Amino acid sequence: MKVGSSSISGENVGQIAPLVDALAAAHGRGTEVILVSSGAIATGIPFLNLDARPTDLATQQAAAAVGQNLLIYRYQDSLRRYKIVAGQVLLTAGDLENPTHRGNAQRAMERLLDLRILPIVNENDTVATHEIRFGDNDRLAALVSQLVQADVLILLSDIDALYTLPPSEPGAVRITEVPFSDDLANVKFGDIGAAGVGTGGAGTKVAAAKLAAASGISVLLASTGDVAAALSGEQVGTWFEAATP
């Protein structure tokens, strides 16, 4: 499961608790869950006395160093209610391209799951550079789902589904299911996420969904507010069919 910066930072920091409630319920049913969470930079910004997301790499890295610590603390503080322990996994794109590092990451996450620890994954923003970044955490989530051969990838957003147009535009129609062969050529993508906080949008989520689906992993795009329903198997959001073998 992947959650974006705009859903769990700033004025939406209160959404961490219900997100944890849903994750804990799934964990209690025996489901193995990995959370890919953005939000390190966004969480660190207020503590650096900045009013907006920094544009230079060094300040982004400084914000990430401060914010990642606070972000994991907030998750663990909420998980403590359920006696669930979080395990932090920070990755760069190079880690998943290097066979040795990739194997180490895979074994570490599999062992965390065996131990009933909840892995919380994020890009290692403190050391990543523009040249070795994933680009966005939607892509990271798709690559992690491939790494662990996940059954399903859930991409959480601040809208409830994919639409034919940005949902604020007249005539936007909700899309409930996307066959693997559908290239969505008639869909006009807009941004998903609060301006200045998140880096992804509808286009990045669709690209990530297609990447995971090509590996046989079904994908659900849903609202962060619908996370409990999504993990319970209710019909919410937009379902991307996986490629058939």
CATH number, domain containing residue 33: 3.40.1160.10
pLDDT band at 130 (very low <50, low <70, confident <90, very high): low
**In whole angstroms, what is the distance from residue 72 CA to residue 23 CA?**
15
Mean pLDDT value of segment 38-63: 91
- Whether residue 158 is annotated as binding a ligand: the answer is yes
Whether 194 shows a pLDDT value over 70: the answer reads: no
DSSP E strands: which ranges in the chain?
Answer: 2-3, 35-37, 86-91, 118-123, 152-157, 162-163, 174-175, 177-178, 218-223, 238-240
Q: Per residue in 63-114, pLDDT tens?
A: 999 999 999 999 999 999 999 999 999 998 888 989 999 999 999 999 999 9
Q: Is 157 annotated as a binding residue?
A: yes
Q: Is residue 166 part of a domain?
A: yes
**Number of domains, the chain:** 1
Q: Which residue range is the domain that position 7 belongs to? A: 2-240
Q: Provide mean pLDDT across the span 139-144.
A: 95
Q: What pLDDT does 89 receive?
A: 96
pLDDT higher than 80, residue 222: yes
Q: What is the mean pLDDT of the chain?
A: 90
2 is in an annotated binding site: yes
What pLDDT score does 196 carry? 46
- 245 within domain boundaries: no
Percentage of the chain beyond pLDDT 70 is: 93
- What distance in Å separates the CA atoms of residue 186 and residue 108, rounded to the nearest whole number? 41
Count CA atoms within 13 Å of residue 116 on its CB side: 10
Task: Identify the band that residue 62 occupies on the pLDDT scale cut at 50, 70 and 90.
Answer: very high
Say whether 125 counts as a known binding-site residue: yes
